[in-house]
Amino acid sequence: MRVSRFQQIWIAFVFLIVTATFAWSADDSYQIVHTYPHDPQAYTQGLLYQDGHLYESTGLNGRSSLRMVDLDTGRTLQSVSVPSQYFAEGLAVWGSTLIQLTWQSHIAFVYDRFSFRLLRTLPYEGEGWGLTQDGKNLILSDGSATLRFLDPETFRVRRRIVVKDRGAPVSELNELEYVHREIYANIWHTDRIVRISPANGKVLGWIALAGILPDAQHTDPEAVLNGIAYDAADDRLFVTGKLWPKIFEIKIVPQEAKPLPASRSH
């Protein structure tokens, strides 16, 4: 059968729509295992779990801090304020130190993990958003689709990857966590987490967390999902958000890819 140019274009368009719908329907979902209290005034920018405690970096000028938090009660056990000229961002543990990014000041703070004493600072180019580590490198996001792998001692860039989903760059990468040899990243202003291959930046999957915090508990337009922590010893995954009153321990529920009704909005 001869197909006109118009029909070819129409078939291609329908194929793209069906493919996109199919891909979006393949998001993994979640099951809440446990809910913990969280300081609703904490503008969460970095989150990690180490040796039985949560460590948290909170942002905003004049409100930025580094904290050690008791998971069960949400009580801050130890904290240090960041000077008001800095807007704190991502946080990672490296040996006996904690490394905290700043947003636009091009400087990272290195603290003793036990006393929170500031040991030194490290300069870097560009913005700082999220930070994690894979045992060999620090991994930094800056809001773009590019992740930088850094020398933990000098912050020298060792390599870069561009995060892509079916060839399209995925930007707005925010808070990071290294989980099961994958990089998990919050996508700013969305309720989705992307799973990334650290080898080449390929998107391995998505986790949809829509509805995990009821709309009525979103107290601010910036009270968005942002905070992933992984307890490697007990294989537990925690998520929270900026200004959220709760931290959620979740289990990822894989979903079979099934076409969804065309009315689903993105």
- Tens digits of per-residue pLDDT, 167-212? 999 999 999 999 999 999 999 999 999 999 999 999 999 999 999 9
Distance, CA of 158 to CA of 179 (rounded, Å) = 21
250 pLDDT higher than 60? yes
Average pLDDT on 123-131 reads 97
Average pLDDT over residues 41-58: 96
Separation of alpha carbons 185 and 147, rounded Å: 10
d(CA 172, CA 154) in angstroms, rounded, equals 25
All domains of the chain in start order, with CATH: 28-253 (2.120.10.30)
| pLDDT at residue 264 is higher than 90 | no
What pLDDT digit, counting tens, does each position of 5-34 carry? Answer: 544 444 444 334 333 433 444 799 999 999
pLDDT tens track for 88-117:
999 999 999 999 999 999 999 999 999 999
pLDDT bracket for residue 216 (50, 70, 90): confident
Looking at residue 157, its pLDDT comes to 97
> How much is the pTM?
0.85
Q: Give pLDDT, residue 4.
A: 53
Query: What is the secondary structure of 175-239 as a DSSP string?
Result: EEEEETTEEEEEETTSSEEEEE-TTT-BEEEEEE-TTSS-GGG--STT--EEEEEEETTTTEEEE
Q: What is the pLDDT of residue 26?
A: 74
Looking at residue 5, its pLDDT comes to 55
138 strand-pairing partners: 133, 150
Tokens (6 digits) for 45: 């920018």
Residue 87 is predicted with a pLDDT of 98
What pLDDT is recorded for position 82? 98
Q: Could you tell me which residue, 11 or 128, shows the higher pLDDT?
A: 128
Confidence of residue 165 (pLDDT cuts 50, 70, 90): very high
